[in-house]
Amino acid sequence: MKNQSSTIFQGVNKKEFLIRNTFRLAILIVLFLGINTFKASCLNKPPHVIIGYVAGYDGLVDMNMIKPEKLTHLNYAFANIKNNRINLKNATTDIVNLRNLNKLKIKNPDLKILISVGGWTYSNNFSDMALTDTSRKAFARSAVAFVEKYKLDGLDIDWEYPGLPGAGNVHRPEDKQNFTLLLKALKEDLNKLGKRINKKLVLTIAADCSKDFLDHTEMNKAQAYLDYINLMAYDFLNDPPGKTFHQAPLYPSKTFNNNNSIVQSVQRYLKEGIRPEKMVLGIPFYGHIYQIKSDARSAVGAELKSAVGTKGFADIKDSLINSGQFQYHRDTTAKAAYLFNPHNQQFVTFEDEWSIRYKCKYLKDQGLAGVMFWEYSNDEKGILLQELNRMMK
């Protein structure tokens, strides 16, 4: 038998052989570590976001109600705009609320707290503020200084709506481009502050689902400056009007007069070139109550007489569902729940655990970033939030 070592080293000195194989071994180790690091990063992807809005305009917020461990982001609503600067209309209680919200990070250090500017009531001054480069920069400086002062994690802009009247607001055609320029100015100043304090700061918007909103904005361009686009996928208008409809149907209904749906809205955004990982699906934690005309025998296709009002999910569950006076129904086509009281002819369109499951599955299938809900106090017992957490795993 030949000496194996002499065969191996034939034509190559021993020192050179060891150097070559050590080098090869090092390459294999680097490749092994790299592949496993990549696998680990894939397995430990950040979860879907769960963004909740908490309303401060009614006074001090009950912090015991909030479960920070079940949230990724909490948007405090709302700040106003005055003289092209961010403004707290109820400063006495707002400041206390913001400080108390920051204390929630003791339970969840990863929780992001944002100040939301605007909303349905405070959107009147957006168009004037966004009109010029000077006024946009003045607002951006004031808003980012606000973020730093109250140790927040970013801004949420809820302009309802650029180029459209909303609640009778000032609006102009230039809003379309100015909205994009406003977001650009905000993002640039947030990035400067973030670099200075070594912290990633977030910029989001609340966005309407309608074609009108997309026609009056440049969302394809604006998304470059946004971390998330919170789609207000609720309060759909009945089309044609005058008959019962769902406030937030996932799919078009075969039985209710509503040609609007969440699926149609999301697809509209995707066709505009909006990246799915920036889109967050909004879910209502409340419902609408309507009075149906007295000759209606069921809620399906019934003519509406008047709007009675809105109720939070907790109230709907306790005072309506548990009363035994309302019949609970599911539109299995639209994936929407509703109630009907045949005695007083009331129809209630609302969100529940069943409908939420379908929405969560849909957004995950579409690769959306996660969910947003309005508004925290409407689910005091945390029933819907618990379902969101279960489905987002």
Give the residue numbers annotated as catalytic, written as ranges: 160
Residue that is written with structure tokens 């299995």 in the block: 332
Tokens at 83, concatenated: 């003289």
Residue with tokens 């918007």: 205
Token code pair at residue 158 = 């809820």
Give the distance, in angstroms, between the CA of residue 345 and the centroid of all CA atoms in the same chain: 34
Record the tokens describing residue 324, joined without a space: 């035994």
Non-local CB neighbours of 15 within 8 Å, separated by 6+ positions:
none
Enter the tokens of residue 51. 């963004």
Distance CA 177, CA 231 (A): 20
Neighbour count for residue 364 (Cβ, 10 Å): 14
d(CA 279, CA 269): 9
The amino acid at 387:
E
Token pair 């909740």 is found at: 52
Q: Which of 171, 94, 70 is nearest to 127 (CA)?
A: 171
Put residue 11 in one of left, alpha, beta given phi > 0 → left and psi -120 to 50 → alpha. left
Three-class SS state of 49: strand
Q: For residues 150 and 152, what is the distance between their CA atoms, to the nearest angstrom? A: 6
Are the CB atoms for 329 and 347 separated by under 8 Å? no
Tokens representing residue 268 in the block? 């509209």
Q: Distance between CA atoms of 178 and 369, rounded to whole angstroms?
A: 26
